[in-house]
Amino acid sequence: MRTTKRFDPGVLDRFERQGRGLGTQQNYMPWHQVTRGDPASSGRSHLMHWHGRLRHLLSDLEWGAQLFGLMPANVEDSIEQVPLALEFAGHPLLAYSARAPQCAMPGTLELARELCIRHPRVHGRGRSQNWRLSTDLVLVLRDSSDRALKMLAIAVKPSSWAERRRTVDLLRLERAYWLARDVEWLLITPEVSSKSVVLTLRRTCQWALAETVPAGLFDLAVAIALANPWATVTALIEAIEKYAESRHQAQCALWQAVWSGALPISLERGWRPQEPLLRISDTVFWAQNPIVSRRSAWI
């Protein structure tokens, strides 16, 4: 089956019929997907499994942002390729909590008029239709103080995003959409994170995002690493493996401890397992994550 060549009103109608952009947790269906029936993305696409569902990531940059977004312990859900409402609509947090705002909020058509931005449209098959903007990643977070849920919207763009006025205008529109819903919005670009850190996350995510290890093994992995600061990664895994069901579980224990911040290390390290972990402070560790530290390329 051939990949759909381009977007037109018929493609958007199909997305609506399929229920894309609806659901939560493992039942959520992304608006844009990595399938033969979707127009190809300009970047290298990825499918990543997390919490019972494949995540559809349309570029290396989106994959990196997704990994950064899954590090905090208070992440309740992560949804990608989230379509924005065209007309007035309820708060997207209503799908998760009755405590979300109940009033209708402006869609992109109204906001585009307010901002004097030409709203995008698609044409084809003798028809013309308003385009549905989408946000690359939306995190649902549990507040540590009152346990309430909140959202964090994240746009992901290459370094050249500011070179085209149209791209800037559409980002202005996307940002206004989320600010109208009292949702913080970040613009993540290669400049706000380290490529080396992203590569470390990509190499270790198979263990960090695997099934959560028992609490006892997790604590043991932290204790072994702290007691042996100059031990290589290989030596640490071998020491943890003595108490684990398998080498894989030992690797999961070590990297889940790292990703959670219980074992803060420099993520700038290379891939070599014969090198030790470099311990750093909690503050410096989380500063490596642009989403946790709320770094944004938007000016």
Percent of the chain topping pLDDT 70: 99
Q: How many Cβ atoms from other residues are within 10 Å of residue 4's Cβ?
A: 16
For the cut 60, the answer to whether the pLDDT of residue 13 exceeds it is yes
pLDDT digits (tens, 9 = 90+) for 161-198: 999 999 999 999 999 999 999 999 999 999 999 999 99
For the cut 80, the answer to whether the pLDDT of residue 299 exceeds it is no
> What is the arithmetic mean of pLDDT over 73-96?
96
Residue 56 phi/psi, 5° resolution? -100, 105
Confidence bin at 43 (pLDDT 50/70/90): confident
Mean pLDDT of the chain: 94
For the cut 60, the answer to whether the pLDDT of residue 160 exceeds it is yes
Q: How many Cβ atoms from other residues are within 10 Å of residue 95's Cβ?
A: 16
Q: How many Cβ atoms from other residues are within 10 Å of residue 167's Cβ?
A: 14
Domain ranges of the chain: 9-192, 195-287
For the cut 70, the answer to whether the pLDDT of residue 80 exceeds it is yes
What pLDDT was estimated at residue 2? 46
Confidence bin at 272 (pLDDT 50/70/90): confident
What pLDDT was estimated at residue 145? 77
Q: What are the angstrom distances between the C-alpha of 230 and each of 92, 221, 236, 237?
A: 48, 15, 10, 13
What pLDDT was estimated at residue 4? 62
Nearest CA-CA partner of 78 in 96, 102, 103: 96
Amino acid, res. 185? W
Q: What is the CATH number of domain 9-192?
A: 3.40.1350.10
pLDDT digits (tens, 9 = 90+) for 119-128: 999 999 889 9
What pLDDT was estimated at residue 1? 39
What pLDDT was estimated at residue 46? 94
Amino acid, res. 180? A
For the cut 60, the answer to whether the pLDDT of residue 287 exceeds it is yes
For the cut 80, the answer to whether the pLDDT of residue 112 exceeds it is yes
pLDDT digits (tens, 9 = 90+) for 202-213: 999 999 999 999
Residue 142 phi/psi, 5° resolution? -95, 120
For the cut 60, the answer to whether the pLDDT of residue 248 exceeds it is yes
pTM for this entry: 0.94
**What pairing do the DSSP bridges indicate for beta strands 149-156 and 134-142?**
antiparallel
What pLDDT was estimated at residue 3? 56
For the cut 90, the answer to whether the pLDDT of residue 72 exceeds it is yes
> What is the arithmetic mean of pLDDT over 92-110?
94
